[in-house]
Amino acid sequence: MSHKLLRDSRLYQTLIRIDRDLAAKAREEGCPCGGKLHRADYPRKPRGGPAGLVGYDRRLSLCCEVDGCRKRRTPPSVRFLGRRVYLGVVVVLVSALEGAITPRRLALIREYLEVSVRTIRRWQVWWREVFPVTAFWKAAKGRLDREVPVATLPAALLARFAGRTGRDRLVACLNFLAPITTTSFG
């Protein structure tokens, strides 16, 4: 996977389009109480994206219109990896570089993305120790064509997705991970 993806404006446009589709689908499904869902986005200050990134300052979310319910429903996202401050694409790609993080590359990551070495190490621990024991991973890994070695997550996970380009594979991986980005839906 190329670090050039982090600067690919088409990637970010694709991700926001997918998130909008996920929110529209969730809105159509409505609230479990039977109520209609309305937009109730909330602000985000994500790190790691290119300068001037439009549309990433809001996390798409919904709220039930029924008095007595009014529950927030936050659909899955391919832009945000749960509550992490950095964009999902950054967490996945930088974590996948583990064996290829040279001092020069690390300096570029720190300069361009403002990610500390400590943060990168924390992400890598999450991928190798926390993620593999989640209910999501235990159920979802069976949908992949072959076993993914935990020691090489997320790089090995990225490698499991088909696509003509690195962008296609990354988008497929982020779609696969979307259910872990929320607790509101399934």
Q: Tens digits of per-residue pLDDT, 144-165?
A: 888 999 999 999 999 999 889 9
Contact between 183 and 167 (Cβ < 8 Å): no
Q: Does the pLDDT value for residue 105 go beyond 90?
A: no
Q: Which domain holds residue 126?
A: 3-181
Residue 174 within any structural domain of the chain? yes
Token pair for 123: 């992400």
Residue 186 within any structural domain of the chain? no
Residue 156 within any structural domain of the chain? yes
Confidence of residue 185 (pLDDT cuts 50, 70, 90): low
Residue 149 within any structural domain of the chain? yes
When comparing pLDDT for 164 and 183, which is higher? 164
The number of domains in the chain is: 1
Residue 130 within any structural domain of the chain? yes
Confidence of residue 141 (pLDDT cuts 50, 70, 90): very high
Residue 44 within any structural domain of the chain? yes
Beta strands at 42-43 and 58-59: parallel, antiparallel or unpaired: antiparallel
Contact between 41 and 59 (Cβ < 8 Å): yes
Cα-Cα-Cα-Cα torsion 127, 132, 138, 139, nearest 10 degrees, comes to 0
Confidence of residue 116 (pLDDT cuts 50, 70, 90): confident
> Which of 40-44, 78-82, 97-101, 111-115 has the weakest average pLDDT?
97-101
Residue 87 within any structural domain of the chain? yes
Q: Which residues neighbour 174 within 8 Å (Cβ) at sequence distance 6 or greater? A: 15, 18, 78, 88, 89, 92
